[in-house]
């Protein structure tokens, strides 16, 4: 069982614009050319910050058109927030502001032998890393730069803590890199 950060990023290390647009990502072409189907099969629990959660809710019309459902995940999902947020009928969504270690223990129990996916944003992933809980980074680097925006992973992780394990071209516009995180 691993705790993974799987995400798309621009070449200059942003996962969204400052105002949370992902238009740069959707402009890059066919999202079905992806490692996502195999990745999500292995996921047993998810964590995300409230901005990412609200982005999904704000785009529910597109999700319903594509998948027939307003919520894309069948696995239990922990949403980190200090606020009271809307929920999605029928979805297993658990709001929390508890400490990362205790939430991770709950997630591990729910995930069983499967992996934990920290969806983002980058600062929340950084909090999992600070607690020594992040095992793997899987990033699809798209052929775009934004100059500024929401950061991929705002932490300083120096050698020898990241081990490159895989490099894979995906379609015309992405390269996927996988790193094992060597925790202290």
Ligand X SMILES: NC(=O)c1ccc[n+]([C@@H]2O[C@H](COP(=O)([O-])OP(=O)(O)OC[C@H]3O[C@@H](n4cnc5c(N)ncnc54)[C@H](OP(=O)(O)O)[C@@H]3O)[C@@H](O)[C@H]2O)c1
Residues contributing to the site for ligand X (CB under 6 A)? 7-8, 15-16, 20, 22, 25, 48-52, 55, 80-83, 97, 119-124, 127, 150
Spatial distance between the Cα atoms of 101 and 127, rounded to a whole number of angstroms:
10
Q: Which is nearer to ligand X, 26 or 182 (CB)?
A: 26
For residue 19, the minimal CB distance to ligand X (Å) is 8
Q: Which is nearer to ligand X, 113 or 123 (CB)?
A: 123
For residue 120, the minimal CB distance to ligand X (Å) is 3
34 phi, psi to nearest 5 deg: -160, 160
Spatial distance between the Cα atoms of 51 and 124, rounded to a whole number of angstroms:
11
Q: Nearest Cα to 71, choosing from 49, 54, 51, 83?
A: 54
Q: Which is nearer to ligand X, 69 or 81 (CB)?
A: 81
For residue 15, the minimal CB distance to ligand X (Å) is 4
For residue 157, the minimal CB distance to ligand X (Å) is 18
Spatial distance between the Cα atoms of 151 and 155, rounded to a whole number of angstroms:
10
Q: Which is nearer to ligand X, 44 or 121 (CB)?
A: 121
- Residue 177 pairs in a beta bridge with 139, 167
How many residues comprise the chain?
184
């Amino acid at each position: 069982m691993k705790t993974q950060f799987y995400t798309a990023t621009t070449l200059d290390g942003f996962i969204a614009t400052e105002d949370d647009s992902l238009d740069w990502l959707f402009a890059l072409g066919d999202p079905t050319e992806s490692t996502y189907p195999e990745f999500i099969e292995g996921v047993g629990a998810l964590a995300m910050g409230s901005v990412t959660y609200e982005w999904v809710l704000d785009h529910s019309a597109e999700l319903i058109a594509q998948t027939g459902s307003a919520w894309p995940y069948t696995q239990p999902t922990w949403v980190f927030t200090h606020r009271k947020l809307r929920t999605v009928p029928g979805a297993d969504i658990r709001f929390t502001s508890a400490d990362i270690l205790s939430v991770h223990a709950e997630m591990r129990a729910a995930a069983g032998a499967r992996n934990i996916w920290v969806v983002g944003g980058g600062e929340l992933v950084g909090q999992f890393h600070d607690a020594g809980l992040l095992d793997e980074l899987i990033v699809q680097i798209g052929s775009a730069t934004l100059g500024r925006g929401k950061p991929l992973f705002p932490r300083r992780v120096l050698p020898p803590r990241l081990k490159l394990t895989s490099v894979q071209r995906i379609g015309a516009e992405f390269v996927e890199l996988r790193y094992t995180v060597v925790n202290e």
